[in-house]
Structure 1
Amino acid sequence: MKSTGVRIHGKEDLRLESFELPEIKDDEILATVVADTMCMSSWKLAKEGEEHKKTPDNLDAYPALIGHEFCGKILKVGKKWSNKFSEGEDFVVQPNLARKDTPFVPGYSYPYVGGNATYIIIPNDVMELGCLIPFHGKAYYEGALCEPLSCVIAAFNSQFHLIPHTYDHEMGVKKGGNILILGGTGPMGLLAIDYAIHSDKKPKNLVVTDLNQDKLERAKELYPSDEVSMNFVNVKNLSLEEQKQSLLDITDGEGFDDIFCMISVSPIVTMAGELLRVDGCLNQFAGPINKDFSATLNFYDVHYNFTHVAGTSGGNAENEAQAAQLIADQKVNVAKVITHVLGLDATPETVLSQPEIGGGKKLTYIGKKFDRIELARLDQTTELGKIIGAHNGLWSPEAEKWVLDNMDPID
């Protein structure tokens, strides 16, 4: 069978090309991908090529399919898995296989499995580790965003706080506490806001910072809450000391129980540590590109005030299943983070240009061919524009159906 996909051959060398898939083995599954969303991790992958931790050393000879946030339909099931999965079943994949023997994962390392391909072969490892998960949402774009949401769930679950009068810990953010999301108007920050205000452990106060007032206003509009006190703070013209004081003032000087740093900037991370209250937990959510990235931490506070640090890199299978259920139950509206939609042919350039493009998630419809569309600039008189307008500028199952029904197929 012929598949068309985007493969990485080396640093900044992404190619849209067709290739032959072998027949699946008894322990493999053949599937088609309908939707994939982009992550800055894919940009880092493209920039680093063979130097990336998760790629093989010989990409020039054995290119790997990219795309790790995807949703599709199962076409054929190998004998080993026929009692667990069925043809025609919709699925998502948790690419973080978390194996000890190799860092290789779908979307970074394999020739035949990745989100940016029309047809893929899902290897046995994915099923063995419980990382192929049925999806029952309303649309494929929702499934594609299960992986990013799983990263947020993993980060919230990795937070920990002392159980009073013990040195034992309760996992998760502090219920009824103060949460700070630094640099929180990007797509992952927005998902974190959504999850925080709809989770079982809601904070009392949620504070979000950014440098862009328009993005802050948009976040405020998208995520109202009657149960959580919401604060959106523009820190563009504030010194670090002014930022620190203004954020402390919001909490009446208490500081924060849980801080999520969505940016990798040393002085900001240092400031975050200074904003922790007793038993506060700082989560370095953003993955630094620089392997020597570091910041100052006050160890007096670590010893006497029990402040501490956590970090996660991706979610796991359980987090992916949680995300899939939350989305299917419509408790989290992941459409709010989508700002651009495109066909597979526009993927290589879009991956490489993500920092310049800005905005939120870029959603690719894998079997389609069309230029990148920015939803905020879409002509409201077009059929697709009218659909978007009817949903307050957001992507929707109706918009997805229009694209699948009307856009040209990829060659």
Structure 2
Amino acid sequence: MQTRAVRLYGKKDLRLETFALPALKADEILVQIISDSICMSSYKAAVLGPEHKRVPRDVAEHPVIIGHEMAGNIVAVGAKWQSRFTPGEKFALQPALNYQGRMDSPGYSYRYCGGAATYAILPQEVMELGCLLKYEGEAYYDASLAEPMSCIIGSFHASYHTDMGSYEHRMGIAAGGKLAILAGAGPMGLGAIDYALHSDRRPAMIVVTDVDEAKLARAKAIFPPAEVKQAGIELIFVNTTAIRDGAAYLRELTGGTGFDDVHVYAPVKAVVEQADQILGRDGCLNFFAGPTDPAFAGLLNYYNVHYNAAHVMGTTGGNTSDMLESLRLTEKKLINPAVMVTHIGGLDSAAGATLTLPQLPGGKKLIYTGIDMELTAIEDFAKLGAANPHFATLAAITGRNKGLWCAEAEQYLLKNWPEGFKRP
């Protein structure tokens, strides 16, 4: 079986290549990958190369396939797994393996298993750990985005609260409480808003801050506060740029009580310190954003930790249960992971997009591996449609959907590639 894939050879050395996969073993599964969204973690792996904890030291001699937010179809099943999986089934993948104490993960560590490929071989540990997940939803991109959504869901479940005099931790955000999502108008923040609005445990108030007015405007268009309020939740967006004392302003929004839960979506010292300042009694601060600087630090009020029962914690990634929750909520159309996506591209754009991810505008970059297509912003479809009717059709489809990617757009794209999507 031939595959076309983006492979990592070393620091900032990504190559799109076509090569043969080895024969399938009895404990492996061959999959066709349809979609793979690009994660900042892949950028970190590409930049660090063999210095990354999950990337093999001999990657120059034995390159690995990048990408871990993948979805597609099962093609062939080794004898060991034929009672559990069937060719033709759709799949999603939980890449956060913890196998025999190793940090190996698809998209970082395996020569033949990664999302930026047309075909891949899943090693037996993926199935043994229950990380190959069946997906019965309509669109492949929803299954790809289940992985970043699982990270968000995990952060909500990991937050905790206590009662005075009790040592029991009540897990999860405070039901009916006040939630702040700081630096929350980016892709992961939008996913957090969507989950907070539609999960079983919902706050009564959500305050979302950012310093980018364009991102805030897009967030308001996706989640109109007046529409949200009909569901009994108060949603407030705040641009903190021109506010002299942001912490005081945010506390005023809560009536002076402070927030029950504060989630931080950017590794910025001022944002982390503001999060500490707006916590209410028994408030839980979840530092979600992963810094690249191992010396990153900010001031923390230990008086409040002691006397105000302030909790400070962080999460990285979600577990398989979180990912299953994301898949089930998506299948029932209770959440819409497409709120995170702003760009669509083909496999030929994956390497460049990964290496320049921090400099690229917008949110999630969604790659369709069977297509050659320049990375394109959804908001540019209409402009490109003047010369290419396929982009005009995509603009019309997404325009009917608040400017968001959707199952209809995916189906149109897959049906009409590859020639129809070359730039004029």
TM-score using structure 2 length: 0.93
One of 287, 290, 303 as aligned partner of 1:287: 290
8 Å contact 1:266–1:295 — kept in the other structure? Answer: yes
8 Å contact 1:178–1:205 — kept in the other structure? Answer: yes
Tell me the secondary structure at the aligned position of residue 138 of structure 2.
coil
The answer to whether the aligner puts 1:388 opposite 2:404 as a matched pair is: no
Tell me the secondary structure at the aligned position of residue 216 of structure 2.
helix
One of 403, 408, 412 as aligned partner of 1:398: 408
Q: Deviations over 1:147-167 (max 9, x none)?
A: 011001100000010145412
One of 223, 231, 241 as aligned partner of 2:236: 231
Counterpart AA for 2:279: L
Q: Deviations over 1:216-271 (max 9, x none)?
A: 121122124122111100012335xx111111111111111111110111232122
Q: Hey, what does 2:313 align to over in structure 1?
A: 310
8 Å contact 1:77–1:87 — kept in the other structure? Answer: yes
Q: Hey, what does 1:89 align to over in structure 2?
A: 89
Mapped to 1, the partners of 2:327 and 2:240 lie a distance apart of 34
Mapped to 2, the partners of 1:36 and 1:278 lie a distance apart of 41
8 Å contact 2:204–2:233 — kept in the other structure? Answer: yes
8 Å contact 1:340–1:363 — kept in the other structure? Answer: yes
Mapped to 1, the partners of 2:100 and 2:256 lie a distance apart of 43
Tell me the secondary structure at the aligned position of residue 203 of structure 1.
coil
Deviates more, 1:400-409 or 1:208-217: 400-409
One of 365, 368, 391 as aligned partner of 1:365: 368
Mapped to 1, the partners of 2:361 and 2:39 lie a distance apart of 12
8 Å contact 2:221–2:402 — kept in the other structure? Answer: no
Q: Deviations over 1:56-101 (max 9, x none)?
A: 1121111111111110100011111111111100000000113461
Deviates more, 1:389-398 or 1:225-234: 389-398
Tell me the secondary structure at the aligned position of residue 46 of structure 2.
helix
Tell me the secondary structure at the aligned position of residue 278 of structure 1.
strand
8 Å contact 2:98–2:104 — kept in the other structure? Answer: no
Tell me the secondary structure at the aligned position of residue 145 of structure 1.
helix
Tell me the secondary structure at the aligned position of residue 3 of structure 2.
strand
The answer to whether the aligner puts 1:253 opposite 2:263 as a matched pair is: no
Mapped to 2, the partners of 1:238 and 1:10 lie a distance apart of 44
8 Å contact 1:36–1:71 — kept in the other structure? Answer: yes
Counterpart AA for 2:345: L
Mapped to 2, the partners of 1:292 and 1:53 lie a distance apart of 18
Mapped to 1, the partners of 2:367 and 2:238 lie a distance apart of 32
Counterpart AA for 1:230: L
The answer to whether the aligner puts 1:354 opposite 2:354 as a matched pair is: no
Tell me the secondary structure at the aligned position of residue 284 of structure 2.
strand
Tell me the secondary structure at the aligned position of residue 334 of structure 2.
coil
8 Å contact 2:184–2:209 — kept in the other structure? Answer: yes
Q: Deviations over 1:331-386 (max 9, x none)?
A: 00112221110000011111112222210111110011111111111125522222
Deviates more, 1:149-158 or 1:380-389: 380-389
Mapped to 2, the partners of 1:178 and 1:105 lie a distance apart of 36
Tell me the secondary structure at the aligned position of residue 259 of structure 1.
strand
Q: Hey, what does 1:332 align to over in structure 2?
A: 335
Unmatched segments (≥5 aa) in structure 2: 387-391
8 Å contact 1:196–1:203 — kept in the other structure? Answer: yes
Counterpart AA for 1:287: G
The answer to whether the aligner puts 1:300 opposite 2:303 as a matched pair is: yes
The answer to whether the aligner puts 1:126 opposite 2:131 as a matched pair is: no
8 Å contact 1:65–1:112 — kept in the other structure? Answer: yes
Mapped to 1, the partners of 2:416 and 2:37 lie a distance apart of 20
Unmatched segments (≥5 aa) in structure 1: none
Q: After superposition, where does 1:3-402 map in structure 2 within 5 Å?
A: 3-99=3-99, 101-163=101-163, 165-224=165-224, 225=228, 226=230, 227-239=232-244, 242-379=245-382, 382-402=392-412
Mapped to 2, the partners of 1:163 and 1:3 lie a distance apart of 56
Counterpart AA for 1:170: R
8 Å contact 1:98–1:316 — kept in the other structure? Answer: no
Tell me the secondary structure at the aligned position of residue 371 of structure 1.
coil
The structural deviation recorded for 1:389 is 2.3
Tell me the secondary structure at the aligned position of residue 250 of structure 2.
helix
Counterpart AA for 1:404: L
Q: How many residues were matched structurally?
A: 408
Do the aligned partners of residues 99 and 162 (structure 1) sit closer, same or farther apart at CA in structure 2, a change above 3 Å counting? farther
Q: Hey, what does 2:389 align to over in structure 1?
A: none
Mapped to 2, the partners of 1:285 and 1:89 lie a distance apart of 33
CA RMSD of aligned residues (A): 1.5
Tell me the secondary structure at the aligned position of residue 115 of structure 1.
coil
8 Å contact 2:151–2:322 — kept in the other structure? Answer: yes
8 Å contact 2:341–2:404 — kept in the other structure? Answer: yes
Mapped to 2, the partners of 1:18 and 1:27 lie a distance apart of 24
Mapped to 2, the partners of 1:31 and 1:343 lie a distance apart of 18
Mapped to 2, the partners of 1:238 and 1:289 lie a distance apart of 28
Q: Hey, what does 1:408 align to over in structure 2?
A: 418
The structural deviation recorded for 1:388 is 2.1
8 Å contact 1:71–1:140 — kept in the other structure? Answer: yes
